Amino acid sequence: MLAAFAVGTKLTANLFMKLANIVFKISPLNSTVPRLHVTPAELMYLVSDFHAVVGGNPVVSLKELDESKEDKALQSAKAEVAKRQSILDALYDPPKDGQLELTPEILERRVNAATARLNSAQDSLKHLEGLKALRNLTPTQERERLCARYGPHKIKPLFTGAIPQLPQNFEEAMQTGVTLDATGDGQPRLLFQPTGA
C-alpha cells in the first residue's frame, strides 16, 4: 500500500502546473491590474478575493502560456549565454598572428559591452528557469509561495491539509473562486455546497 502511494505521489509530482497571464478588475469602476505567470491556485484566490467587490467574475482576460514555447526559449537562452561568455573570454585571449593588439581603452569598452550583453542573457535565462521551477512546485510548495505573497491568514483556509488540493486548470479555479466568499473574520466560506461531491 505504501509503495502504491509513493508511486502515485511521484506521478502527481511530475505534472506541470499551468501558468497564465491575466488582467483582472479590482473595483466596480473597472480598474484593472495585469498579473503575469499566475497559477490556477493563485487565480482561485484572486477570484475569491475580488468577485464580491467587482460584482461578478473579476477576470477580464486570461492567456494561458504554452510550455513548449518556454522550453524552446530556455534552450535558446542557454545557447545565448554560452555564446556571450565565449565572446567575453575571447577578448582576454592574446592577439593571434596578424591581429592588432587592442589599446586598454578599447579593450575596456569591449569588455564592458560584452559583460552587459552577457548579464542581459543571464537575466533572461534566470527568468525562464524561474518559470520552469514555478511549473514544478508541489502543492505544498505552491501553498507556501502564495502564503508568502498574500499572507497565510488568506491562503491557508483555502488550501488546507498536509497536501492541499489545488485546482488543476483555470476554469476550475474561476468556478471555485466565485463560490467562495469572505466572512467578517476574513475566513473564506462556501456560498453553496457543490452537488455530487
- If one compares 97 and 67, the residue with the highest pLDDT of the two is 67
Cell digits of residue 166: 489545488
pTM of structure: 0.72
Helices (H), the chain: 2-13, 40-54, 67-91, 104-135, 139-150, 152-155, 170-179
88-98 average pLDDT score: 81
Residue type, 162: A
pLDDT per residue over 59-79, tens digit each?
999 999 888 888 899 999 999
Phi–psi pair at 56, nearest 5 degrees? 150, -165
Report residue 15's pLDDT band, with 50, 70 and 90 as the boundaries.
low
The per-residue pLDDT for 17 is 85
Res. 110: pLDDT tops 50: yes
Cα dihedral across residues 113, 119, 122, 128: positive or negative: negative
Closest to 114 measured CA to CA, from 147, 75, 156, 86: 86
Residue 59 backbone phi and psi in degrees, to 5: -75, 120
- Read off the pLDDT of residues 115-147 as tens digits, 9 standing for 90 and up: 999 999 999 999 999 888 888 899 999 999 999
